[in-house]
Amino acid sequence: MQRKEVGFSDLYDIRALRVMVADVSACYTTLGVVHQLWAPIPSEFDDYIARPKTNGYRSLHTAVIGPYGRNLEVQIRTAEMHRAAELGVAAHWRYKEGGGGDAAFEARIAWMRRLLETRGEDDGALVEAFRTDLLEDRIYVLTPKGEVMDLPHGASVLDFAYHVHTEVGHRCRGAKVNGRIVPLTHQPGSGDRIEILTGKQARPSRDWLSSQHGYLHTGRAREKVRTWFRRVEHVANLEAGRAVLERELRRLALPAMNLDALPLRLALKSQDELLEALALGEVGPGQLARALHELHAPPPAPTVPVAPTGVAARARGAPGALTIEGV
């Protein structure tokens, strides 16, 4: 209390509960269960799995308003994390050398060996240089109610909105991450708390379908946006696709040409199908430009047969024609 300069009521770890689970994924699943049982205290969540401490400590820490309205700290970790936290990396090293254990600590053991071999260097810089980060294919984020959702690594907050519900994505107008307004292209990390700001009406933007703008990174979310435009705005799709085609023609400075064969070059059946594919981002600018250049390129010149050399053939024509052999 004296060190942190806080009152007794502001200490959240007076009562604590530790939960041991099988793997990292189960850690975040358990966190979601805990937040459903008890109301989380927003400012008291730490994800030391996604962002380990400099000494290698890994665990999930959250504080909730537990039974009888009392604060309760909950720590969630795997058996491997617990062994490293309670016994230290050196003890786990010994366990590792004896056989068994998990390969996830290999990098940390190598770090310790190099640390012991290094002399006369700044400790802080050394720890920062050899710090190992948890590399996951998926991230685990929180809803405002504390529910845990997993997303592919690199997903945006707009991807999260569509992951929550299709209508939430369609009506998305903005987002907050940990209470701070962020652009829809923002890519959250594990442990971030995301709040989606919605409007009254569904109004997706066509820019969301462009990979160049970086709004959506999951195919599932893109397909939901495409489905919305297909269902609601068929005529508008044709107009938007025509605008994309005309803009690309101006950019490439190509002369007027017959575009009837263009859909076939893009494996499409008709002009309408091409325009709709352009509007929905199914055919990108690069594909369109390549197809237009191929369409504009002149046909290859016909090959001219070359007369045989050496022994001359008998001239075709009138009888009695001379045949000359050699030179």
| β partners of residue 39 | 65
Structure-block tokens of residue 35? 């937040």
Q: How confident is the model at residue 191 (pLDDT cuts 50, 70, 90)?
A: confident
Indicate whether 304 pLDDT > 90. no
How much of the chain, in percent, has pLDDT values that exceed 70?
71
Structure-block tokens of residue 221? 């979310």
Tell me the per-residue pLDDT of 6-26, one tens digit each, with 9 for 90 and over: 454 555 557 788 999 999 999
Whole-angstrom CA distances from 172 to 61, 149, 175, 235 are 30, 18, 8, 24
Q: Which residues contact 100 (CB under 8 A, 6 or more apart)?
A: none
Whole-angstrom CA distances from 223 to 95, 100, 150, 216, 229 are 48, 44, 19, 10, 10
Q: Please measure the distance between the N-terminal and C-terminal CA atoms of the chain and give it in whole angstroms.
A: 113
| β partners of residue 305 | none
**pLDDT value for 118:** 46
Question: What structural domains and CATH numbers belong to the chain?
Answer: 8-130 (3.30.460), 140-230 (3.10.20.30), 233-295 (no CATH)
Nearest Cα neighbor of 237 from 194, 204, 191 is: 204
